[in-house]
Each structure stands twice: as C-alpha cells, then as structure tokens.
Structure 1
Amino acid sequence: MVSVSSQAALGLLVRRLERIGQLSDAERQAVENLPAKVQTLRPRQDIVREGDKPEHSCLIVEGWAFRYKLLGGGRRQILSFHVPGDVPDLHSLHIDTMDHGLAALTQATIAFIPHECLFEVTKRFPGLAGILWRETLIDAAIFRQWITGMGQRDAFGRMAHLLCELYCKLEAIGLAPEQRCNLPITQIELGDALGLSSVHTNRVLQELRAQGLVTFRSKAFSITSWDGLVRAAEFNPAYLQLAK
C-alpha cells in the first residue's frame, strides 16, 4: 500500500538536487510539478530489467534498491546500492535499452517520472539539466571507486570502504543517528557486491568487529571508530559531493 504522495516524493527530489546545485524558484516549482506515479515494491522485486526500454526514471522514496548484472550459471554482480533520494536510472533518459537490472532491496516506495516530462523540463531550464547531468557524473564517480576497490583493495579494505560510503550517504539524508545505520543487506549480497564468497564475507565482517571498528546488530551497523574505518578503507568522501 502506497503511503507517500507524489508531492512528497518530488519534494525529496528537490532536496536531493539542491545538495548538488542551486535551484531557482522556477526550477524548483518545475520539479515539484512533474507527474510522478508512486508505487510500493516488495523486497527483491525488479524495478527494471536488463533489455527493457524504460519510458520513465525512478526516484527511491523509501527503502533501498540495488543495480545488478546477471551472468551464466546464476552468477550475479551487484553494481551499486541506493538509498532514498537516489535516481539510479537517470541515464536511461539517453540510453534506450537497459544493460543491467535494477531491483528493490527491501520493501521500497518508488516514484516513476516519465522521460518525456524530464526532457521537457530540461529544455525549459538548462540550469536544471546541468544539475541532473552532474547527478549522473556523481554516479560515475561511485562506479570508479567500486572498480578501484575490486582491482586494488583487499577484501578488508573493500568492505570498510563500502561501509564508509553507505554511512556518508545515509548521514546526508538524516538516516544515520549517532553513527548507526540500517544495513538491510545479506552476506550473500555483500559478497556479490564485493566479489567475495559468503564465507570470506563473514570472515571480513568478524575482523572489522574484532578490530573495534564496527559493530553489527539486527540488520544495522554502528561505527565505533570512524577514524579507524577511514584508515582501513583509505576513504575520501569527496567523490560523493556531499559537502552541501
């Protein structure tokens, strides 16, 4: 059952865009007036599949989502995790066919915004088009960090970096009180994101706990030593562009 109005969803989008760049009153009103269809999806339900030709982009309003790529033999690579305020398929404005899938990680409320309306508003407001373009560039910066981690960090560093990233994104939207964050991600999903087996994933999580960096409890984690976690990850949050 949907409990979030389209108006509330678009207000979330305005706040997200205002963290990236300055909106004029007219640009803000244009975003708030976009048509949006709000739906609630069950956990692991696809939002869009590889090969689809979507006619809308989606805004995560509540819950979490993830990008993924399926390979032969049931293998899966998770490409990113997404939290409220993210628009994970904004690139589909200019790419006709999806080359990966996007699914709800938890029960999630999603606002679907038609491409034709996004095109129209960006033609009217070039400054807004620039902010949306910058959103996709931030997305690309996150991909570069993940690629660097897969290629050059050990498993401990990869996991530490992911937890730092998730904490910073959640803290920016007020969902990380006292350095405690929800973590509705299974060990299998963490392994699929970081290129680790379930056994290795568990071992790394235990090591993070043993070193006094993080504690885990009931699908959540608390950071007990932020400085230590940052050192382990060699983490610099600049790529997330969250300074505002």
Structure 2
Amino acid sequence: MGSALQLFVNRLTSRSLLTDEEMGAILALTGKVSQVATHVDFVRLGEQVDHSCLVVDGLVGRFGQNKDGARQITCLHVQGDMADLPSVVSPKSGWGLTTMTGTTILRLAHADLRRIAAAHPGIAEAFWRDCVADGSLFSEWVVNVGRRDALSRIAHLLCEMAIRCARAGLGDGGSFALAITQSDLGDATGLTSVHVNRTLKELRSQAGVTIKSGKVTIPDWDQLVAIGDFDDGFMLLDGPAPRIAAAA
C-alpha cells in the first residue's frame, strides 16, 4: 500500500509543490485493498460512492455508455492514478470504472481525503490541480475521437500512454506495458475491432509500432508523434506550479 501511495505522491508532486509534512500525511493514509478481475465494473454509472480508487497495479478504463450498453472509454488509468479523485467532492459517479486487466485497487475513504485536505491547504491545491489535469486529458480524448482519423487516433493514444507509463515506472517511452485488447482499444478510439486491427497493421508499416503480449514497442517516436498529431501540452507536465495556498 505504501508504494502505491508513493506513486500517487509522485504524480501529485509532478504538478504541485508539497512539503514533507504534506507528503507524510498522504503516505499515512490507510484504505482497503481489493483484487479485481479483468473486465469487471468496480464503480458503476450513477453509483453513490464514499471512497476514491487508487490504482495499485493493472489498467483501468473510465467509461460512459448509451442505453443499449455500447461503451466509450474516456480515459485509461495506470498505477499511481487516483481514477476518481473528483468523487471526493461529487460522490455520485457520472462515469463508470472498469478493469482492462486483473487490477489491484486501494480504496481510500472520502472522509480521510477531505480531512487531510482541510488540514493541509497545499494538499487540497494538489488534489484540485490533479483534477484539472484529469479534465485536460479528457478534453483531448474528445478531440481525438471527434477530429482525428483512425490512424492518428491510435497513434495519439499510444503517444500519451507511452509518456504516462514511463512516468509511472512501466517503461521508457520506447517500450512500455499496456495490456489492452483490440476490442478495448476500439472502445477508447470509437473504432470497431476490425478497424483497430487494420489500423495497427498500418502503424506497424509506417512507424514500426508493435503491440504484443501486453507490451508496446515504438522504434520511431518522431514518426509516431507526426502520425498522431501529438503535442503533450494537454498533459500539463511543465513541472510543479507555484503554491497558490502559500501566497494567499
């Protein structure tokens, strides 16, 4: 549990300045660890929750769906991500969370997260900024599905995940773990499985990209970036921002 909380602290401090005391308060949190099998919805659409879910390991998809059950994955979460931090202040879930692989989840009580945020304004600010970053990723996913062709969509998604997985210790950008099926990749990009298969073959032809046994290999990063029309500005990775709370 401690290592998962440290990954979450690392995620927060990539965008926010935290004191040793504040980091200690986060690392002292306790919660309930759950092992969740592949393709299980562990937060349902519209569910009232009293905890947030930290991904310890595995891969999680946030999704919406229509009345017929067709799904659109709107974000992927890797280890160290708090997949539903906004639920701390909005406990009725506007989306669902499902596992892409066998996944370990640490459930942290909203009451505890609110307590440390109230005691430490710097933590509250870091939580807020993390939610802003989450919203920025979501906005880019909308652009990706709505305004890019199939080849660019998948290339863009792989570029994003290469950076995020590297920062979570799951690879080095050129090669990283991403255990996702073609069906799930289709749900993340608005494509059929057949179209995904055809597009992956084209990516392999143009940029040498391979996805095999849960591992993505990108031999030509610049080419993939060009295909995906990728600019990492939406990921808000310019380093820790000045503390607003301290200046108030």
Normalising by structure 1, report the TM-score. 0.93
Q: 2:66 matched to 1:71?
A: yes
- Structure 1 residue corresponding to 2:185, chosen from 183, 190, 195: 190
Are the equivalent residues in 1 in contact too, given 2:186–2:196 (CA < 8 A)? Answer: yes
Q: Which amino acid aligns with 2:232?
A: P
- Structure 2 residue corresponding to 1:142, chosen from 116, 137, 140: 137
How far apart are residue 230 of structure 1 and its match? 0.4
Q: Which runs of 4+ in 1 moved over 6 A?
A: none
Residue of structure 1 in register with 2:230 after alignment? 235
How far apart are residue 243 of structure 1 and its match? 4.4
How far apart are residue 178 of structure 1 and its match? 6.6
Q: 2:150 matched to 1:151?
A: no
| Aligned equivalents of 1:25, 1:178: Cα separation in 2 | 30
Give unmatched runs, 5+ long, in structure 1.
1-5
Q: Which amino acid aligns with 1:106?
A: T
Matches within 5 A, 1:212-223: 212-223=207-218
- Structure 1 residue corresponding to 2:25, chosen from 26, 30, 33: 30
Q: Any idea what the Cα deviations from partners look like across 1:46-84, whole Å, max 9, x if unmatched?
A: 221112111001110111111111223331111111100
Are the equivalent residues in 1 in contact too, given 2:51–2:110 (CA < 8 A)? Answer: yes
Q: Which amino acid aligns with 2:143?
A: T
- What's the RMSD between the two structures over aligned residues? 1.4
| Aligned equivalents of 1:151, 1:10: Cα separation in 2 | 35
| Aligned equivalents of 1:72, 1:13: Cα separation in 2 | 34
How far apart are residue 154 of structure 1 and its match? 0.7
Are the equivalent residues in 2 in contact too, given 1:212–1:225 (CA < 8 A)? Answer: yes
- Structure 2 residue corresponding to 1:172, chosen from 167, 171, 191: 167
| Aligned equivalents of 2:153, 2:171: Cα separation in 1 | 21
| Aligned equivalents of 2:13, 2:73: Cα separation in 1 | 28
Q: Any idea what the Cα deviations from partners look like across 1:127-148, whole Å, max 9, x if unmatched?
A: 1101110100111111111111
Q: 2:9 matched to 1:14?
A: yes
Q: Which amino acid aligns with 2:195?
A: H
- Structure 2 residue corresponding to 1:81, chosen from 67, 73, 76: 76
The answer to which structure, 1 or 2, has the higher relative contact order (CA under 8 A, 6+ apart) is: 2
How far apart are residue 15 of structure 1 and its match? 1.8
Q: Which amino acid aligns with 1:66?
A: G
Give unmatched runs, 5+ long, in structure 2.
240-248
Are the equivalent residues in 2 in contact too, given 1:44–1:106 (CA < 8 A)? Answer: yes
| Aligned equivalents of 1:35, 1:76: Cα separation in 2 | 33
| Aligned equivalents of 1:127, 1:116: Cα separation in 2 | 17
Are the equivalent residues in 1 in contact too, given 2:100–2:184 (CA < 8 A)? Answer: no
Are the equivalent residues in 1 in contact too, given 2:175–2:218 (CA < 8 A)? Answer: yes
How far apart are residue 184 of structure 1 and its match? 1.2
Residue of structure 1 in register with 2:246 after alignment? none
Task: State the percentage of identical aligned residues.
Answer: 39
Q: Which secondary structure does the structure 2 equivalent of 1:72 belong to?
A: coil
Normalising by structure 2, report the TM-score. 0.92
Residue of structure 1 in register with 2:203 after alignment? 208
Q: Which secondary structure does the structure 2 equivalent of 1:61 belong to?
A: strand
